Structure 1
Amino acid sequence: MKSIKNKIFKIIQPADNSSVLSKMFDLVIVTLILINTVTIIAATFSLSALKIRIFLIIEIVSVIIFSVEYILRLWTADLLYPEKKPFIARIKLFFSPMAIVDLLAILPFYIPFLLPIDLRILRLIRLLRLFRLFKMNRYTSGLSSIGNVLKKKSDQLVSSIFVVFLLMIISSVIMYYFENPVQPDVFSNAFSGLWWAISTFTTVGYGDIYPLTVAGKIFSAIIALLGIGLVAVPTGIISAGFMENIEDNNKQLTEDNIAKIREILEKYDSKNL
Structure 2
Amino acid sequence: MNNKKKRIFDIIQIGYAGDVASRTFDIVITAAIIINLFIAIFDTFEQSIPYQPVLDVIEWITVIGFTIEYILRVWTAEYLYPNKRTGIARIKYIFSGSGIVDLLSFLPNYLPVFFPAGAVAFRMFRVIRILRIFRVNSYYDALNVITEVIRRKRDQILSSVFIIVMLIIASSLCMYSLEHEAQPEVFKNAFSGIWWSVSTLLTVGYGDIYPVTVLGKMFSIIITFLGVGMVAIPTGILSAGFVEQYSLIKKSTDYLMEKELKFIKLIITKDHNWNEKKVCELSLPRGLILAAVLRNGETLMPKGDMKLFEGDCVVIGARDCDVNVDVNLKQVELREHHPWVGHKIKELDISRHTLIVMIRRGDNAIVPNGDTLIKSGDIVFVFSKRYMADAQTISV
Q: Please say whether Structure 1 and Structure 2 have the same fold, judged by a TM-score greater than 0.5.
A: yes
Query: In the aligned structure 2, how far is the partner of 1:83 from the partner of 1:251?
Result: 34
Counterpart position of 2:28: 28
2:220 matches 1:220: yes
Query: In the aligned structure 2, how far is the partner of 1:72 from the partner of 1:165?
Result: 43
Per-residue Cα deviation, 1:142-197 (whole angstroms, up to 9, x for no partner) = 45554444444434333322221121011101110000010111111112111110
SS of residue matched to 1:37: helix
2:136 matches 1:132: no
Per-residue Cα deviation, 1:195-242 (whole angstroms, up to 9, x for no partner) = 110111012222211111111111111111111111122222333343
Question: Would the aligned equivalents of 1:176 and 1:187 in 2 still touch at CA under 8 Å?
Answer: yes
Query: In the aligned structure 2, how far is the partner of 1:175 from the partner of 1:47?
Result: 48
Question: Would the aligned equivalents of 1:137 and 1:144 in 2 still touch at CA under 8 Å?
Answer: no
Counterpart position of 1:117: 116
Question: Would the aligned equivalents of 2:182 and 2:212 in 1 still touch at CA under 8 Å?
Answer: yes
Per-residue Cα deviation, 1:30-65 (whole angstroms, up to 9, x for no partner) = 111111111110111124665111111111111111
Query: In the aligned structure 1, how far is the partner of 2:215 from the partner of 2:49?
Result: 61
Provide the TM-score with structure 2 as the length reference: 0.61
Kindly tell me: are residues 15 and 81 of structure 1, through their superposed partners in 2, closer, same or farther at Cα, counting changes over 3 Å? same
Query: In the aligned structure 1, how far is the partner of 2:193 from the partner of 2:202?
Result: 14
SS of residue matched to 1:186: coil
TM-fit CA distance, 1:269: 8.1
TM-fit CA distance, 1:259: 5.3
Kindly tell me: are residues 168 and 238 of structure 1, through their superposed partners in 2, closer, same or farther at Cα, counting changes over 3 Å? same
Counterpart position of 1:63: 63
Question: Would the aligned equivalents of 2:78 and 2:89 in 1 still touch at CA under 8 Å?
Answer: yes
* Higher mean displacement: 249-258 or 16-25: 249-258
Kindly tell me: are residues 146 and 6 of structure 1, through their superposed partners in 2, closer, same or farther at Cα, counting changes over 3 Å? same
2:11 matches 1:14: no
Question: Would the aligned equivalents of 1:138 and 1:144 in 2 still touch at CA under 8 Å?
Answer: no
Kindly tell me: are residues 90 and 270 of structure 1, through their superposed partners in 2, closer, same or farther at Cα, counting changes over 3 Å? closer
* Higher mean displacement: 219-228 or 79-88: 79-88
Counterpart position of 2:167: 167
Kindly tell me: are residues 68 and 229 of structure 1, through their superposed partners in 2, closer, same or farther at Cα, counting changes over 3 Å? same
Matched to 1:93, the amino acid is Y
Question: Would the aligned equivalents of 1:173 and 1:193 in 2 still touch at CA under 8 Å?
Answer: yes
Question: Would the aligned equivalents of 1:175 and 1:216 in 2 still touch at CA under 8 Å?
Answer: yes
Taking only aligned residues, the RMSD between alpha carbons, in angstroms, comes to: 2.8
Structure 1's unaligned 5+ residue stretches are none
Query: In the aligned structure 2, how far is the partner of 1:122 from the partner of 1:82?
Result: 39
Structure 2's unaligned 5+ residue stretches are 262-318, 329-396
Counterpart position of 1:156: 156
Matched to 1:39, the amino acid is I
Q: How many residues align?
A: 267
Structural mapping, 1:228-247, within 5 Å = 228-247=228-247
Query: In the aligned structure 1, how far is the partner of 2:69 from the partner of 2:148?
Result: 23
TM-fit CA distance, 1:264: 8.2
Query: In the aligned structure 2, how far is the partner of 1:9 from the partner of 1:164?
Result: 45
Question: Would the aligned equivalents of 1:102 and 1:135 in 2 still touch at CA under 8 Å?
Answer: yes
Query: In the aligned structure 1, how far is the partner of 2:45 from the partner of 2:198?
Result: 34
TM-fit CA distance, 1:252: 7.0
SS of residue matched to 2:105: helix
Kindly tell me: are residues 48 and 220 of structure 1, through their superposed partners in 2, closer, same or farther at Cα, counting changes over 3 Å? closer
Query: In the aligned structure 2, how far is the partner of 1:240 from the partner of 1:185?
Result: 44
More helix by share: 1
Structural mapping, 1:181-192, within 5 Å = 181-192=181-192
* Higher mean displacement: 262-271 or 79-88: 262-271
Per-residue Cα deviation, 1:60-109 (whole angstroms, up to 9, x for no partner) = 11111111111111122221111122222222211221211111111111
Kindly tell me: are residues 128 and 202 of structure 1, through their superposed partners in 2, closer, same or farther at Cα, counting changes over 3 Å? same
Query: In the aligned structure 1, how far is the partner of 2:251 from the partner of 2:75?
Result: 34
Query: In the aligned structure 2, how far is the partner of 1:172 from the partner of 1:178?
Result: 10
Kindly tell me: are residues 40 and 89 of structure 1, through their superposed partners in 2, closer, same or farther at Cα, counting changes over 3 Å? same
Query: In the aligned structure 1, how far is the partner of 2:128 from the partner of 2:34?
Result: 12
Structural mapping, 1:38-53, within 5 Å = 38-47=38-47, 51-53=51-53
Matched to 2:160, the amino acid is S
Query: In the aligned structure 2, how far is the partner of 1:160 from the partner of 1:23?
Result: 42
Question: Would the aligned equivalents of 2:42 and 2:48 in 1 still touch at CA under 8 Å?
Answer: no
Question: Would the aligned equivalents of 2:15 and 2:23 in 1 still touch at CA under 8 Å?
Answer: yes
| Identical counterparts, % of pairs | 45
Query: In the aligned structure 1, how far is the partner of 2:147 from the partner of 2:134?
Result: 8
Pick 1 or 2: higher relative contact order, CA cutoff 8 A, min separation 6: 1
